[in-house]
Structure 1
Amino acid sequence: MSNAHQLHQALPSDEIDLFELFGAIWKQKKLVMGCTLLAGLLGVGYAYLAPKVYQVSSVLRPAAINELDALNRSEVYKLPPADALAKVAAQLDSYETRLGFFRANPGLFGAFQQPGRSPEQSFEAFNNNDAHLVVPDPKNPDSLNNYIRLEMQYPSGVDGAAILNGFVTYAITQQRDQVGADLKVIVNNRLNELKGKIDAARANYETGKASRIAKLLEADDVKRAQLQDELSALRLQMQAQRTSRLAELDEAISIAKSIGIKYPTTPSAMAAEARTGSGQVMRTEVTNQAIPLYFLGTQALEAERAALARRTNDDFTNNRVAEIGKELRMLEVNREVEVLKSRKSEDIFLQDVEPLWAEQARLRSLNIDMSALKLVTVDRQAQEPSSPIKPKKTLIIALSLVAGLMLGVLMALIWHFVQARRQAGPFSAQDERRLPHR
């Protein structure tokens, strides 16, 4: 039993004694301090020799409502301040805009050019690593969603403030030009639309006018034909009446000759003459019966017949002939058609085009020049930084000292365990040979 106890005391224990470790580290304090000092020197060297990186930023906020009031009141292009800020943000984040600014300002990006790199490759390096857009998180209710921030990191020898401010101005100008171009296109499209409506109204007017003239002329032709037919019928009627009158006169002359009536007389006068003979007598005769025509006597009847026989035109015997002549004369010229054809400013007769003309005049009077339009407010311009953001000297030195300390401690512990293993190795072999066999 005593041999086993002595052997157990002689064998190394598997438990770690913290005091023994601290003692071992303290014994190697020079090693630990040397590693810490070496790492600290390396950190100091890196902190002061590493390339310096600077950062600038610019903050943009929505423009005041009155800055965009004229554009919004045009009723053509609606652009609230928040939308204007979003459009500028899209321009700032646009690859095409950044490439355009890069190509337009080669002098500002000379430091980004490296041997063996094409300008496009240099721009890619700048675009991917050096400039980025920061927008507030819309899901965060505590964040203010009415701003955007553009940040850029750059090495020494680069005018970062000039680049960032120039890029912001370039992007705003590009967006302003885009708004102006969009407004011009919209106005031109609306003007073309209004012109089409006015042309349609003018075409409808021309069609209506031509239709009206055609209807008036057609009505005149119909009326003229009807009057000419009526005139021809009247003349035939009058000719027939003249022929009938001649026949009546011939018959009356024959009767008057047969009874010896040469001068106009009446039946009562003839009866009185037959009874008393001739005499100077004045008679008044009232009767409701028509006296036969032959009582006019042969002299009057033959005179009338001769006159009718010589007549070549019966138009004067009927007033309607003169009225027809008047109407035909009036139909020779249609004054309404003449006025319609002689119109000079026909647009004033168009229907329902006054609102179109008013809108057309309003659109043409719009100021499409957007050079003075303020889309956003530059809340903070980029300023030349007073110190670089990289390398962080204090942090690098502190981390290097901590790393050196940890490395020294690790090396001290490794040295302690190696020495302990060497010391415990031979003793264990001898004790193992001395162990009693059961």
Structure 2
Amino acid sequence: MSSSFRAPPVSPSDEIDLFTLFQAVWRQKKLISLVTAGVVLVAGIYAFSTTPEYQVVSILRPAAINQLDALNRSEIYKLPPGDALNRVGASLESYEARLGFFRANQKLFSRFERPGRTLEQSFEEFNRNSINLVLPDPRKADSLSAYIKLEMNYPKGVDGVSILNGFVDYAIAIERQQIAADIEVIVKNRLNELSEKVKAARASYDMEKEARIASLLESDNLKRAQLQDELKALRTQLKTERADRVTQLDEAIGIAQSLGIRRPTAPTSLGDSDRVNSQVVMRTEVNNQQIPLYFMGTDALAAERAALKLRKSDDFTAGRIAQIAKELQLLQSNREIEILGLRENEDLFLQGVQPLRAEMARLRNLNIDISRLQLVTIDKQALEPLSPVKPKKALILLAALMAGLMLGVAFALIRHTIRNSNAIVANLSLLPSSSDPSKKTADHTFDRS
């Protein structure tokens, strides 16, 4: 006889039965309840022991155009409202600005200080985890205007409202100071530029004045030299003419002596002198020829010659000499040069500098109250929050409840599976062995129930 073991075929009842699993899980509801309670307890301890974290928000929008009108009308600095908002936003995001505010208000940040940390290390923790700058998404057109939102998360015990509002005011003040510094530099540079232009105009005027004086002096010197040359030539001419006249008189005296003419006479008188007649005859002589000089007679000619030899100067004989003397006298002083030299306020005579002076006066009197300049509009200031944003206790407890239920069910299923596996192993161990000689049963069948 032989013994054999025949495994039964798998029946549909061997597949996973959800109802059976549910019964198995339900029988272990205490285990599930304990696991769920434990998870909820741990979550509750975390939720109620964690330091609450609050959040405050401040929203900035572009300032009205009239708020920046005085600055933009100054013609030296252009700042549209959008650019002003961007500048303030850049300052709010600046590491240097945040560190400066942190240093200036250390009492507000005492909660972030830790023993053994430097001031910069304490600030780094605050800067990394606390303040967040939010800008509108350029791909979305649902925003009616540009804005900047500043969010700050802080633990309980920190005056977050004062920190955020103070930081916004600090950033605006920084930009105001920067604008004031920019305006000061721009005005200074413009004034220096205008001053250099005025100096250039003054230098040009001085050069033109000196050139004018030099031109006048040169013209006077030239005219004076010409007049002196003319006077010298004229005197030489007069002297030559006087010498020539003396020579003519000598010749005429010789002729008059040879003719016996002592007194002035006419040519016709020479013919009548030979006639002896007591009758007085009067003649009229018409002659278009000049009467020779010797007819003046020796007495007159000798007298004239003596007078010419005694003459010291011939200047009185030519009217041009007196005219030259007058012109030389006028050239002794040039009134235009004297007036140019006597000018006291020469800036009045500069050409093209009046607009420059007007611009310099405008820049010097430029008065923009930077302290009252509104760069942005604070649409929403940070307000004291009503409740913390972290931890969300209800959400944590609900999530812990669901997680505990799932974990408890998983434990129950694992326990049920382990029990079934142990039962199957135990049943298999009760089957007879085929090599046992004490077993005489020819055919043994094991049916699984």
TM over 0.5: yes
After superposition, the C-alpha distances for 1:51-105 in whole angstroms (9 at most, x for unaligned) are 0111111111111100001111111111010110000000111111111111111
Give, in whole Å, the separation in 2 of the partners of 1:373 and 1:275.
131
What pairs with 1:6-405 in structure 2 (closer than 5 Å)?
7-8=8-9, 13=14, 15-276=15-276, 283-405=283-405
Higher mean C-alpha deviation, range 75-84 or range 197-206: 197-206
Once residues 379 and 16 of structure 1 are traced to their aligned partners in structure 2, the CA distance between those partners, rounded to angstroms, is: 63
State the one-letter code of the partner of 1:374. Answer: Q
CA offset at residue 433 of structure 1? 5.6
Residues in 2 aligned to 1:319 and 1:433: alpha-carbon distance in whole angstroms: 176
Instruction: Give the Cα–Cα distance (whole angstroms) in 1 for the partners of residues 433 and 260 of structure 2.
Output: 206
TM-score (norm 2): 0.92
Letter in 1 for 2:413: L
Say if 1:251 and 1:428 are closer, same or farther in 2 by CA, change over 3 A: same
**Other structure's SS at 1:333 match:** coil
Determine if the alignment matches structure 1 residue 427 to structure 2 residue 427: yes
How many matched pairs?
Answer: 433
Question: What's the TM-score once normalised by structure 1's chain length?
Answer: 0.94
**Per-residue CA distance 1:224-263 (angstroms, 9 max, x = gap):** 1111111111111100000000000111111111111111
How far apart are residue 41 of structure 1 and its match?
A: 2.0
What SS does structure 2 have at the residue aligned with 1:275? coil
Residue identity matched to 1:419: R
Following superposition, the deviation at residue 31 of structure 1 comes to: 0.6
- 2-side partners of 1:165 and 1:391: how far apart? 24
Greater shift after overlay, 268-277 or 402-411? 268-277
Tell me if structure 2 keeps the 8 A contact 1:136–1:145: no
| Equivalent-residue separation in structure 2 for 1:160 and 1:432 (angstroms) | 80
- Counterpart of 2:406 in structure 1 is 406
Worse-superposed segment, 193-202 or 164-173: 193-202
| Residue 369 of structure 1, CA deviation | 3.8
Q: Deviations over 1:151-189 (max 9, x none)?
A: 111111111101111111110001011111111111111
Amino acid at match of 1:426: A
Paired AA for residue 7 in structure 1: P
With over 3 angstroms needed to count, the CA separation of the structure-2 counterparts of 1:261 and 1:433, relative to structure 1, is: farther
Q: Which moved more, 1:187-196 or 1:3-12?
A: 3-12
Assess if the C-alpha contact under 8 Å between 1:62 and 1:376 holds in 2: yes
Distance 1:256 1:25, change over 3 A: same
TM-superposed deviation, 1:203 = 1.2
Letter aligned with residue 8 of structure 2: L
Secondary structure at 1:344 match in 2: coil
Does the CA-based 8 Å contact 1:11-1:428 persist in structure 2? no
* Counterparts of 1:278 and 1:122, CA distance in 2: 158
- The CA distance in 2 between the partners of 1:61 and 1:43, in whole Å, is 42
How many angstroms apart in 1 are the aligned matches of 2:213 and 2:131? 74
Aligned partners of 2:257, 2:277: CA distance in 1, in Å? Answer: 20
1:277 to 1:366, Cα distance in 2 relative to 1, 3 A: farther
- Identify unmatched segments of 5+ residues in structure 2: 435-442, 445-449
Q: Distance in 2 between matches of 1:279 and 1:317?
A: 45
**Alpha-carbon distance change, 9 to 211 in structure 1, aligned in 2, over 3 angstroms:** closer
Q: Deviations over 1:256-284 (max 9, x none)?
A: 11111111111122323332457766554
Q: What amino acid maps onto 2:123 in structure 1?
A: F
Is contact 1:205–1:350 with CA below 8 Å preserved after alignment? Answer: yes
RMSD, aligned α-carbons: 2.2
**Contact 2:35–2:405, Cα closer than 8 Å, also in 1:** yes
